[in-house]
Structures are given as C-alpha cells and as structure tokens.
Amino acid sequence: MGGDVVPVIAVRGVHKTYRRWRRPSERAVDGLDLEVDEGGVFGFLGPNGSGKTTTIRMLLGLVRADRGDLSVFDRPMPERLPEVIGQIGALVETPLFFPNFSGRLNLELLSDVAGLPRLRVDEALEQVGLADRARDRVKGYSLGMRQRLGIAAALLKRPQLLILDEPTNGLDPAGIREIRELIRSLGASGTTVFLSSHLLGEVEQVCDRVAILSHGRCVVTGSVADVLATRSTGELRVRVGDLAAAYDVLSAAGFRVARDGDTRLTVTAVAEPATVTATLAERGLYVSELTPVTVDLESVFLGLTQDEAADASAETTT
Amino acid sequence: MTLVRVELRRLLSRRAIRALWLVFVAIFLAALIGNYVHAGSEPLTARFVSDGGLGFGGAFAALAFIIGATAGGAEWAARTMEALLVWEPRRVRLMLAKVAALSLVIAVAAVVVQVMVGALARLAVAGRGSMADAGEHFWRTYTGNGATALALAVFAAIFGFTIASLTRNTGFALGAGFVYLAVIDRVLVLLPNWIDKFTLFNNVAAFLNHGADVNHGDPVTLSTLRAGITLSAYIAVLFALATTLFQRRDVT
Ligand SMILES: Nc1ncnc2c1ncn2[C@@H]1O[C@H](COP(=O)(O)OP(=O)(O)OP(=O)(O)O)[C@@H](O)[C@H]1O
Ligand SMILES: [Mg+2]
C-alpha cells in the first residue's frame, strides 16, 4: 500500500443500525474499516447478515451511515456521489426490474438516464448472453436470466468500479464460469471489481485481495495468500520407505510427528519443509512424497467467523 | 432534460396507465351519452359544448389521482428505485423529473379529453339544437373550463404521486384518497365553520364551479383563485415533505 496511492474505496469506523418501527433495531455494521486499492478483484466475504449488503448500500448512498466516513474515488459519500456515479456500476442483491417491461426496455430506461448510446445496451446484453431473450418481458425470465440482466445493467456504464453483490446467485455452472471469466478479465484490464460472494472456491480463483466480515466488522483483510497464511498450520504429509525409523528420527529432531495410516506421517508446525527432507536424508531415509497440507479460503473463513461467533456468545454469557 | 424524457417513456410504457386511460375514455363516452339522453327532447345549446368538459373535470381528476398514485408507487412496488438511484443519486432531481413527466402526461391527456368532449358535444348540438346562443364569450368559456379541468387533474395527479411516494405504496395512496373523501372531509364539515374554507372538497368544488358558497349557516364565497391557491399550497407542502423524506430515508 503506497503512501500516496488513494484507495478506490475507503471505509473508516462506520456504524449502521437499522431502526425499525416497533421492532428491535438491527445492528448491521459495527465499526467497519476497509480499504480497496485500484485494479483487480477484491473479495468481500462474510456470513449471512454480517453487513456486506449494508456496506455496499452505504457506498452507493442508498443507506445512510450513523457514524464514520466512507469514500469512493476519494470523494466523501454520499455527499459527492453524483460526481463519480458515472464511473460506478453496481448490482445490489437480487436485481429488480419492472416485470412487465422487456429486459431491453428496462436497460434502456437506465442507460438513457446517463445518456449512454443505445449500442451499449446491445453490447451488455451480448456480454451476459441474454441478447436473444432481450425482447421478452422480465416477468417471464428465470432466476438466472434476471441475474444476468442485473449484471448487464451493472456493466452498462463500463464502470471503473464495479460493485457486485452475489452476482452468481442462481446462475448455472456454465453461467458461473462465464461470469468468473468476465470478472477476471475486467479486473485484469484495470477495472476495480468489488465482489461479495459466498462461493469461496470462486473467490479464491478470481480475487487478488479479500476482506472477511463478521458481525459488521472486518476480521481479516489482505491478499489471498496472506489471509490463507493466517491459518496455515505448517502441516506436511510425508511418505517414506521405513515409516518407523523416520518417525523416530523426526521425533528425536524435535518435530511434532504423527502416523497417518500405514504409509504416511504427518508433521505439524513446520516453518520450512526442506528441514524435514534434510533431517531424514542425513540418516539415509529418502522421502518419496512431501505434501504441504493446504488451507483453503473456506477453512479460513469458517475458522475466523466461527471464532468470532464463539467470542460473541462468550461475551454475552459472562 | 434527459431525466424527464426517461420518466415520460417509463410512464407511457406502463400497461396500468394505458389501461386506466382506456377505462377513462369509456367512462367519458358513457357519460356524454348519458347527458345527451338526459337532456330528453329539449334542443341543445352552445352551453352543452362549452360546459361539457367541466362535467368531466371531477372524474378526470379522480383518474389523474390514480395515475399519479401508481406513478409514485410503482417504483417501490417493483423495488427498482434502488437500481435507479445508482444511475441518478440526486433524489430531489429525480422527484422533480418524475412529477414533471407525470404533469405533462396528465396535461396532454386533459387537452385530448377536452377536445374530444368539445367535438362530440358539438356534433350532438348539430344533430339536435343550435349554436345560435354561442355569443362572443363562447371560446373563452370553453378554453377556460378546459384549463380549469386540466389544472385540477394535474393537482390530483401530484397529490396521488406525493402520497404514494411518502408511503412508498400505491395502494395506501388510493386508500387514503378514498378514506379522505368518504370520511374525513365529511367529518371536517361538522367542525367549526372556518374549516369549511379549507376542506379539499369545498376547494375542489369552488375551483371547478368558478367559486362556491361554503358555510352552511352564513355562506361565504370561495373564489376560484383562492381555491386554486389553497390547493396549490397543500400540494407544495405535501411535495416538500415527500421530497425531504425521500432525501433522508434509507432505500433498501
Ligand atoms: N432494510 C433492513 N431493515 C432492517 N434490518 C436490515 C435491513 N437490511 C438488513 N438488515 C439487517 O442488517 C444485518 C446485515 O444485513 P446485510 O444484508 O448487510 O447482510 P449481508 O452480509 O449482505 O448478508 P447476506 O450474506 O445474507 O447477503 C442483518 O442482521 C439484517 O437483518
Ligand atoms: Mg447480502
């Protein structure tokens, strides 16, 4: 993070509680800090109800924060949103359109607001594979087709900042892959994509950086590799000819070793895998397989968000 | 203005609005025929033409109220307001554009209705009666009446629009309109006499009928001008309220 590089999205100490008439108020965002730099794909993750959509709504000036500062392209939101709205494309939750209008008319009504050429509507429809159904009424669209129309709407402006809130919701596997490729290529071409999603496999494939939310707060943020490292246990699987000898050698050398079935050992808390190989080789034991046990985003996600949940319930019980 | 054009297109593409328009044309034809039949065998005069439009002023205003309410509520019913705000976040502008487009549609429709009424009534007079009494004020009366009906319709449409915007619900606006006319306005009449000058019903009547006598005990005349100002003030207050709330409230 360079000193004078201005983040595309900056959120500082933001709180938001939904106050509802005669119902308990809902604390949606609770002291959120977040920074998204220019370019690439940023994954915005968190369990249901952790405040992702609320944050996106605040960034778009739809919902007013109770406290804290939000800025997009270095403009405070929502006051100076009109200056930059032309560079922001967004899909918030389920896309909604006039059911009795055709998909095309719905998009035209939006693109005309910004004075975009009609050609853009055709291009965007083409991009999401909806061109041949564009003249049908939205009422007759399937869930995935509505979702595609929503993505098309977000793409219309060729935005510099593309905010997508669960864009692949309801898409078929082919559709999920198409959108993944689309997001990846947009991110690579300089667009900043702010992507909220529950499909962690997708996120891991496509995102450069992520932030994980829990109870309206950011529990971890950084590059995907850094975030994975926070949970990395340094666990190795080792396959070697003489299992018993290897076990003794490694234990004696101070490694934490366990047998993993009849053919493998598991070594934990290893900082540098090469030390294991070296130790064994010194005693004439040659490793036939050495696999680091990888952590994936899902386990990090579950670990972090469940810790938080446990902490929160502990707080309430004590 | 592009926003107004977009809102116009949205209004004119709405099936509900097209349907309402057809319903109104049907009602208006039925009413004209009714008037004609009601006149029995008496010869018709120029007044049948010049005042014809005014008779529909009330009905047209009611229709305009409904159109206004659906224009104000549709975006909330379809929950598309959120999407629209991502394209035009200046909410006051959006409200003004929507009201301008609505007023324009209603005004054009009012002119069309007025011309249709005039032409059909004129045909009726040609068939049975004469325009002999048409006098020099005929056109002035005819256009004046038309303008009154038009203004009332625009007022009604904005009323419907603002109430639906305030409550974010078309049905509520329609219900509120009905309850007000059916109950509250009648109750207000029972209260101290000075209130009579401020009830919606009396003001609308005064506006349409070139002044009216209100106050059951000691009649006071309510002029067209005064009624117009009162109605405008009501609308301005409601619209300001609706816009302010729209500006401040969360859209989710
Ligand atoms: N319009 C609203 N009125 C009241 N409470 C709301 C509203 N919208 C969201 N909330 C509450 O705010 C909290 C955060 O909701 P939000 O939609 O931001 O979560 P999310 O992270 O997007 O969840 P999901 O993954 O399910 O989409 C939830 O507890 C929710 O109940
Ligand atoms: Mg959400």
pLDDT digits (tens, 9 = 90+) for B51-108: 766 667 778 888 899 999 998 888 888 888 888 999 999 999 999 999 999 999 999 9
pLDDT of residue B248: 86
Which atom of ligand 1 lies closest to the CA of A46? 21
Size of interface A-B (CB pairs under 8 A): 72
Task: Tell me the domain boundaries of chain A.
Answer: 9-229, 236-292
Q: Provide the shortest C-alpha distance from residue B20 to chain A (in Å).
A: 16
Test mutation, A70, A105, A112, chain B, max B CBs within 10 A: A112
Average pLDDT, chain B: 82
Mean pLDDT of B36-48: 74
Strand-by-strand arrangement of the A161-165 sheet: A88-91, A161-165, A192-196, A40-45, A209-214, A217-223
Task: Tell me whether A113 touches chain B (CB under 8 Å).
Answer: yes
Three-state SS string over B59-112 comes to HHHHHHHHHHHHHHHHHHHCCCHHHHHCCCCCHHHHHHHHHHHHHHHHHHHHHH
CA dist., res. B73 & res. A99, Å (int):
14
pLDDT of residue A104: 94
pLDDT of residue A268: 78
Give the Å distance between the CA of A52 and the centre of ligand 2. Answer: 6
Residue reference for tokens 């076990």? A247
Task: Tell me whether B78 touches chain A (CB under 8 Å).
Answer: yes
pLDDT of residue A155: 93
Which of B5, B83, B85 lies nearest to residue A112, judging by beta carbons? B5
pLDDT of residue B180: 80
Which ligand gives the minimal distance to the CA of A44? Answer: 1
CATH number of this structure's domain A9-229: 3.40.50.300
Query: Between these two residues, A76 and B210, which has the higher pLDDT value?
Result: A76
Query: Between these two residues, B203 and B194, which has the higher pLDDT value?
Result: B203
Quickly state the pLDDT bin for B118 (edges 50, 70, 90).
confident
Which of A88, A99, A101 lies nearest to residue B13, judging by beta carbons? A101
Quickly state the pLDDT bin for B214 (edges 50, 70, 90).
low
The CATH architecture annotation of domain A236-292 reads 2-Layer Sandwich (3.30)
pLDDT of residue B61: 86
Q: Do A113 and B6 touch (CB under 8 A)?
A: yes
Asked if A141 contacts A149 with a C-beta cutoff of 8 angstroms, the reply is yes
Q: Is A26 in the pocket of ligand 1 (CB under 6 A)?
A: yes
H/E stretch holding A173: helix A173-188
pLDDT of residue B175: 87
Distances (CA, A) of A260 to A236, A241, A253, A257, A267: 11, 14, 19, 9, 10
Q: Provide the shortest C-alpha distance from residue B65 to chain A (in Å).
A: 21
Tokens of B29: 């034809």
Test mutation, A29, A56, A59, A62, chain B, max B CBs within 10 A: A62
Chain B: residue nearest A64 by CA? Answer: B250
Which of B13, B80, B84 lies nearest to residue A105, judging by beta carbons? B13
Q: Provide the shortest C-alpha distance from residue A189 to chain B (in Å).
A: 23
Q: Provide the shortest C-alpha distance from residue A74 to chain B (in Å).
A: 17
CA dist., res. A118 & res. A2, Å (int):
40
Cis preceding-peptide flag for A173 (omega within 30 of 0): no
Q: Do A9-229 and A236-292 share a fold?
A: no
Which of A78, A88, A109 lies nearest to residue B10, judging by beta carbons? A109
Q: Kindly tell me if the per-residue pLDDT of B150 is higher than 80.
A: yes
pLDDT of residue A194: 95
pLDDT of residue A39: 87
Q: Which residues of chain A have pLDDT under 70?
A: 1-4, 231-233, 307-318
Quickly state the pLDDT bin for B206 (edges 50, 70, 90).
confident
Q: Is A292 in the pocket of ligand 1 (CB under 6 A)?
A: no
Q: Provide the shortest C-alpha distance from residue A51 to chain B (in Å).
A: 13
Asked if A236 contacts A276 with a C-beta cutoff of 8 angstroms, the reply is yes
Using an 8 Å CB-CB cutoff, list chain A residues near B73.
Answer: none
Q: Is A53 in the pocket of ligand 1 (CB under 6 A)?
A: yes
Give the Å distance between the CA of A236 and the centre of ligand 2. Answer: 37
Q: Is A189 in the pocket of ligand 1 (CB under 6 A)?
A: no
Test mutation, B2, B7, B87, chain A, max A CBs within 10 A: B87
Of B173, B93, B176, B199, give the one whose Cα is nearest residue A81. Answer: B93
Using an 8 Å CB-CB cutoff, list chain B residues near A61.
Answer: 85, 89
Task: Tell me whether B79 touches chain A (CB under 8 Å).
Answer: yes
Which atom of ligand 1 lies closest to the CA of A16? 12
Total of domains in chain B: 1
Residue B73, domain extent: 2-248
Quickly state the pLDDT bin for B113 (edges 50, 70, 90).
confident
Which of A19, A44, A45, A48 to mutate to test ligand 1, by most ligand atoms within 8 A of the CB atom? A48
3-state SS class at A241: coil
Which ligand gives the minimal distance to the CA of A213? Answer: 1
CA dist., res. A27 & res. A20, Å (int):
11
Q: Do A62 and B9 touch (CB under 8 A)?
A: no
Global ipTM: 0.83
Residue nearest to atom 22 of ligand 1 (CA): A53
Asked if B243 contacts B94 with a C-beta cutoff of 8 angstroms, the reply is no
A298: number of Cβ within 10 Å: 13
DSSP readout, chain B? -HHHHHHHHHHHH-HHHHHHHHHHHHHHHHHHHHHHHHTTTSPB-HHHHHTHHHHHHHHHHHHHHHHHHHHHHHHHHTT-HHHHHTT---HHHHHHHHHHHHHHHHHHHHHHHHHHHHHHHHHHHHHSB--GGGTTTHHHHHHHHHHHHHHHHHHHHHHHHHHHHHHT-HHHHHHHHHHIIIIIHHHHHHS-GGGGGG-HHHHHHHHHTTSEEE-SSS-EEE-HHHHHHHHHHHHHHHHHHHHHHHHHS---
Write phi, then psi, for B226 (nearest 5 degrees): -60, -40
Tokens of A3: 């000193």
pLDDT of residue A318: 46
Q: Provide the shortest C-alpha distance from residue A12 to chain B (in Å).
A: 20
pLDDT, tens digit, for every residue of A85-134? 999 999 998 888 999 999 999 999 999 999 999 999 999 999 888 999 99
Q: Is the dihedral of CA A109, A113, A114, A119 positive or negative?
A: positive
Q: Is A157 in the pocket of ligand 1 (CB under 6 A)?
A: no
Mean pLDDT of B43-56: 72
Test mutation, A79, A88, A94, A110, chain B, max B CBs within 10 A: A110
